[in-house]
Amino acid sequence: MKRKAILVALLAMPCLALADTAPQYNVVNLDASVSRQIDNDMAQATLFVELSDSDSSKLAEKINQTIAAAQKTLKQFPTVQSAGTGYSSYPVYSNKNNQLQAWRSRGELRINSKDFAALSQLIAQLQKPQSNGIALQLADIRYEVSEQSRKAAEDVLIEEGIKAFRARANIIQRSMGGAAWKTMQMNVQTQANYPQPRMYKAALMAAEAAPAPVDAGESRLVVNVNGSIQVGN
């Protein structure tokens, strides 16, 4: 009896395999997209100091002292946060004999904040000589939507995107004369299009340093919902 049951099960397996690979009829692929302009509420600025010296160790010390002094200035602005530092160095060779002439190094300090006024004031302070007598220069400012605001906006857009997907599915169902439809699969994708960073001339002198202009603008958040449905008769 047991052998008979196993035999029946083995004979049924090809039928199940055929059922799984059977072609699906009235399956339609579709997508829907929704978007919204969101005010940028976060700014990130990059400031740097770039110096040359024949002694690489003295050069590194000058750069590090300048960045350390800038970080002390940063602490005077509690609503502005450090986003990290960077350091790079490369040799400078003579054009005449291709001999090592000096070293050139660059140190960076990245800062961000949702308090644009405080960020602007700090940038002005950092472009003045720091405690070691060396000033930083402003490289660029980037504006974007903060993670908290972006997630809140995306949650709303995801709901709107799924509603738009269902609305299109209803249109397809009616156009095909179907009685109903069901979702076969659905994918939800989000993306943000941020404005290009604003670049600034590196030759800004300390005496000309002033609060950086703030014009955060907007970013475009997009949610794409795509998938497939099956229309039933």
Residue 92 and residue 104: Cα distance in Å, rounded? Answer: 7
Distances (CA, A) of 98 to 19, 88, 103, 156: 75, 21, 14, 61
Higher local confidence (pLDDT), 28 or 3: 28
Q: Which of 92-96, 132-136, 178-182 has the lowest mean pLDDT?
A: 92-96
Domain residue ranges in the chain: 24-41+145-204+213-233, 42-144
| pTM of the model as a whole | 0.74
pLDDT digit string, tens, across residues 210-227: 566 667 889 999 999 999
Q: How does pLDDT run across 105-142, given as a tens digit for each residue?
A: 999 999 999 999 999 999 999 999 999 999 999 999 99
155: amino acid identity, one letter: D
pLDDT interval class at 163 (50, 70, 90):
very high
For residue 209, the Cα-to-chain-centroid distance in whole angstroms is: 29
Q: Please tell me the predicted confidence (pLDDT) of residue 233.
A: 81
Q: In this predicted model, what pLDDT tens digit does every residue of 18-36 receive, in sequence order?
A: 445 656 789 999 999 999 9
- What local confidence, expressed as pLDDT, does residue 118 receive? 95
> Looking at residue 194, what is its pLDDT?
77
194: nearest Cα among 232, 233, 143: 143
- Mean of the pLDDT values across residues 63-87? 96
**pLDDT for residue 203:** 44
138 near 200, Cβ under 8 Å?
yes
Average pLDDT, the chain: 86
pLDDT of residue 193 exceeding 90: no
Contact between 136 and 47 (Cβ < 8 Å): yes
Residue 42's H or E segment, with its range, is strand 42-53
Q: With 60 as the cut, is the pLDDT of residue 100 above it? A: yes
Q: What is the mean pLDDT of residues 76-102?
A: 92
Domain 24-41+145-204+213-233 matches domain 42-144 at the CATH topology level: no
Give the strands of the sheet with 27-39, arranged side by side. 27-39, 218-232, 180-193
pLDDT class for 103, splitting at 50, 70, 90? very high
In words, the CATH class of domain 24-41+145-204+213-233 is: alpha beta
Does CATH place domain 42-144 in 3.30.70.260?
yes
